[in-house]
Structures are given as C-alpha cells and as structure tokens.
A and B are shown apart, each in its own frame.
Chain A
Amino acid sequence: MAKDVAVIGVGQTSFVRGYEGSIRELAFEAFREATQDAGITQKDIAASIFCSAPEYDKQRSPAGVLAEYLGLIPQPTFYIETVCSSSSSGLKVAYSMIKAGLHDVVAVVGFQKMSEITSAESQERMGRGADIQWEAPFGTMMPAYYALYAQAYMAKNGLTHDDLRDVRIKSGTYGQTNERAVYRKGVKASDFDPSNPDARMAGAVAWPLRVGDACANADGASCVILANAEKAKAFSKKPVWVLGIGAASEAVNMAARPDFAKGLSVGYGAAAEAYKMAGITAKDVKVAEVHDCFTIAEIMAYEGLGFAPMGDGKQLIREKATYKEGRIPVNVDGGLLSKGHPIGATGGSQIRTIVLQLRDEAGPMQVPGSPEIGLVHNVGGVGLYGNVTIFGR
C-alpha cells in the first residue's frame, strides 16, 4: 500500500433544492471549507480540476470561470466529466498529476446546480447520458434503465420489493443524522404501502422501481484537496491516503450488456482493479460509500465490491450488516437516496464522508472502532462509467 498521495482537505455544501446563488458561489462554499480543513490558501494549490455534467450547466467551459472566482488563477485548471461519477474521475486525474510530479497540491471541485432547469427537463437531460441514437427514441429515462436491472435481478436472485424498501429505510435512518442531506426525514415501511393513502414512496415510476427507490435531484458542491507525501506531511496532521483506484467502462446500449441479473459490470471491474492496487480484499474494508442512485444500485454494489457473493446482496440488508454497527457499514451518511444527487458533486461528497470516517470526525454518523480503510464506489450513467477508490489512514 503506497502512501504517495493523500487527501488533506474536504468540503461540501449542504445539498439543497433551489440553491440561492450561482454556481460560482456554490463551488466557493465547498472550496472554502476544504481549504480551511487543510489549513492552506490558494497559493498552496498548484492546479485545480472542476467536475460536473455539462447538460445542467448554462455556463460553458466552467472550469476557468470557477477557478477565477475561487482565486485559483493563474494556476492551470481542467474540466472532467463522467456524468454522475465526474468528481471521482477528477480525483483519479488529480492523483495521476501528483504521481507524475506535474503538480504537488491539486483541488478537485465537483458542482451541480440542477435547479437551473426544471425537474422534468432534468430527467430528460439525464437521459441524454444514455444512448440518444438507439434508445431515447423509445422513451427511455434513468429510472427505466435501472428498473431493467432490478427486474432481471429480482427474477433471478429472489430479491423482493421489501428488500429494496429496507435499503431506503436504512438510508433514511442515517439521512436524519446528516445535516447536509436534502432529505432528512425517517422512512417507514408504511411509506411504501400502496393501501396507505399517505404513502409517499409507493407510486410506480418505472416498475419494479417506485418513488421511494429513487434519489432526489439537488444542488450542491464538494471539494477534495490532494497532495503529494511531502506536502501532505507538512500541511496535515491527519492525511488520508489514496491506496487504490480502479475504473471501468461499459457499452452504453442495453442490447450490448452482458447480464442484467449480475448487476453493473463496471462495479466488478473497478473494484477488482482498486483492490489489486491497494493490496487488500473486500474483508479489509471497514466503511463504504456506494452509488445508490436507486435502491437496486446499492444491492448490486454490495456484490460488485465483494461484500456479498453474486446474487446474495439481499442478505446484507436483511441481516442489517450494512448498518453502522454491522459487518460492513455502507452509506451511513444517508447515501444519495437521502443526501440527494447533485451529479458533479456526488463523488466528492462520498469521498468527504469516507475521509471524515477515517479521521474519526464523522460525528453522529461515525462508524465505531476507528475504521482504518474505507471505500468509495461511484457510478456514472447506468454503469457506463465505474470508479472505485480506496482510502486508508
């Protein structure tokens, strides 16, 4: 486990609906928190990387605009996009730059103001991250794609609607304790009961997925500051090291997907690469953030990451193994399902959670036992891109 590149600062805005400011002000909030966390100023940062999904940005070429507002000129700045995993990809690029010796300290800023456009427009544009030539003409949208996986998975592996509901209940348990989450109410089984007139989550969206199976759009920004070993030791009392990075991609078209009942292939591919680089196995991971844009995605992630054998992810939620006190705590900050999913900011938010966990600074969300190794699993599109990053103290 090489300790060459470390996270020395993390920041995140509250994830909200209808942020009352511009994207520059949004990004500034997360960046300011991360620099204060690292105890550095702009002059210590050699380069910056901005990450978002451009379909929501009215500003073109946002990296330069935001770098100026954050006081990061004249240092070089770059823009990275892999839809929902943009800021995890940004971290990989920052890591590479530092390892190559090009820059010693790099800030990765993820942002998305999804409320720049209406919720309906947002749904439509998110769908453009899928195949617009061969699939959008049928009337596809994101929930429908994940529902294709859910249907095949449930048919083969005995996963039930109650299991999916229980993933959302777990998310709600922790979402209540996360002051930065957009959805902070607890979730009850009756919220999914169609015979209950007040059920908020029971309505079908793309069957077998219901309202409660989906995360919410939100505005937000995140910031992760990385440094080489020398700078990390100089600046930080509690550096959190990047131990392993894995990434994979998959065919955009559903007609070219290998096996829907197996889940997203990028989850398996990215995890294998990250574990190999870190020199660890799934058993060594003590806390994880996984990409739960839909409840089914969390179950599939359990298996891709090796927390459960293939087809058996349901056991983890049935046995509460992924609760804070369980064998492998997952998404104990509420995950995307409770925090909301500001596309470009999401990966950075997941990384922040794991960094705080490894520093024993996660407050009410802290996993007991001072975890030493944590993992972030961040997927772009419907498994079009996959990123797995492993961190350690």
Chain B
Amino acid sequence: MGFEKFGRKSFTAMTKVSKFVDLLEEGKVEGSVCKQCGAKYFPPRADCAACMSKDMDWFEMPKSGKLETFTTAYYAPFGFEKDCPYIMGVADLGGIKLFARLAGDIKPEDAKVGMDIMIRPLKYDDGQMSFEIAKA
C-alpha cells in the first residue's frame, strides 16, 4: 500500500517501490540502482532487468537538466479535467530521463525544447505526492 498517494490520481495501489512516495514526502526524488551490477533506473524498479538481481537500493536523481520535449494538454482524461491546460514533458538529467508535469508557473508559450530545468517534489492540496519539472 501507499502508492495510491502518488500523482494527481494514482491507478496503482500496491508496488514494491512504494517507498518512492515516502521519499517524496522527505523531499527527495529517487530512482533505483542495482547493488549487484550498478544499473540505474527511473522510474524506480524492484528488480534489475540487466542482471536479474532483486537487490536494489535508492539513489537521488540529479536535480537539474534540460527539457527534451513537452506538450500542453487542452483535453484531459477523467479526473484531470479541472487541471487543463497543463504541460507534461520529458527532462534529460544528464543521461537519465524523467517524465512529469511542468510547474504551473510555466506558461505554454514559455516552454522550450532544450530549456534549463530543475526537478522538485510536489505536494497537492489533497495530500497527493508528486514531483515536477520547474524553471532552473
């Protein structure tokens, strides 16, 4: 349990990496790293696809990077309608990437491919935990 607190609205209640949400509450955005072979993953995984080990640890994601791509959603699925329009994008944090929403203070016309960004945890008013891509 615990993963239902992830994101604007979670679709998965149980996962072996639900500690990710606890780490967000501590202010950390972390991926997982294999203790056996050193493979790094984001989103985090409980199992290493490179060497099949189940012996994983957490590591703090780099905090800054560049925006690789983004889109502004003018329509939304059920449960997200009130947020429209909102921007989602992929940040390249120097070899490891992350998908998230862009911070609400970034206007669609200000978002640019290649812009400098930073990553930070986010707590919604209803207690849901997430992370977002903000201006550097």
**Chain A residues in the interface with B (C-beta under 8 A):** 120, 123-124, 127-128, 132-141, 143-144, 147-152, 155-156, 203-209, 253-257, 260-261
Contacts and interface: CB of A to CB of B under 8 A. Distances in A.
A205 B75 contact: yes
A194 to B, nearest CB: 13
A148 B101 CA distance: 12
Given A205-B75, A206-B75, A207-B108, 11 more contacts: A123-B77, A137-B10, A137-B11, A139-B77, A139-B101, A141-B73, A144-B88, A152-B113, A207-B74, A255-B43, A260-B69
Given A139-B86, A139-B88, A151-B113, A124 B71 contact: no
Interface residues of B, number: 39
Contact of A206 (B3, B10, B11, B71): B71
Contacts of B89: 148
A134 B99 contact: yes
Given A127-B77, A138-B99, A254-B99, A204 B88 contact: no
A144 to B, nearest CB: 5
B53 interface: no
Interface in B80-120: 80, 83, 86, 88-90, 96-101, 108, 113-114
Contacts of B99: 134-135, 138, 253-255
A139 B76 contact: yes
Interface in B11-36: 11-12, 15
B39 to A, nearest CB: 12
Given A137-B7, A137-B8, A139-B77, A255 B114 contact: no
A155 B113 CA distance: 7
Contacts of A257: 90, 97
B68 A152 contact: yes
B90 A155 contact: no
A253 B9 contact: no
A203 B85 CA distance: 13
B60 to A, nearest CB: 16
Contacts, number: 110
Say what secondary structure dominates the interface of chain A. helix
Contact of B75 (A141, A148, A151, A156): A141
The residue in B7, B15, B114 that gathers the most chain A C-beta atoms within 10 A of its C-beta is B7
Contacts of B3: 133
Contact of A144 (B6, B42, B73, B100): B73
Contact of B9 (A123, A137, A152, A204): A137
B71 A148 contact: yes
Contacts of B43: 133-134, 253, 255
Contacts of A120: 78
A141 B90 contact: no
A112 to B, nearest CB: 20
B69 A152 contact: yes
B15 A133 contact: yes
Nearest to B100: A138
Nearest to B41: A256
Contacts of B12: 132-133
A-B pairs with the 10 shortest C-beta distances?
A137-B7, A139-B80, A147-B71, A152-B69, A155-B113, A134-B43, A207-B72, A132-B11, A255-B97, A254-B99
A254 B69 CA distance: 10
